[in-house]
Amino acid sequence: MAVLGGTCTLIGTTTNLLVDGVPQASGIEPLSIFEIIPVGVVAAATGGLALLMLGPFLLPDRGDIARLGADNETAFFTELRP
């Protein structure tokens, strides 16, 4: 969501700076820092909605961390192999 939120300002992502360079190279007035907010908000909202809908299907179910130490069992998140 931080990357999607960065699309709302000119300096939020490097791509926005590159897009601003195209009109400047053609002699057109440069964009202001908040001029792309309408497009950025739509992109952030669409991306956020996609994350909310697809996230449960794409991310693994790791279970509840509180259950890992139950019944004096030792649980490890990682393993070390020689």
Over the chain (82 residues), the average pLDDT of each successive run of 10 is 88 87 87 89 94 89 60 61 70
| CA terminus-to-terminus distance, the chain | 39
pLDDT at position 52 is 94
| pTM of the full structure | 0.63
Query: 31 burial class (0-12, 13-18, 19+ CB within 10 angstroms)?
Result: middle
CB of 5 within 8 A of CB of 12?
A: yes
Give how far Cα 54 sits from Cα of 4, 34, 60, 82, Å.
Answer: 16, 30, 12, 38
pLDDT at position 69 is 54
pLDDT at position 30 is 86
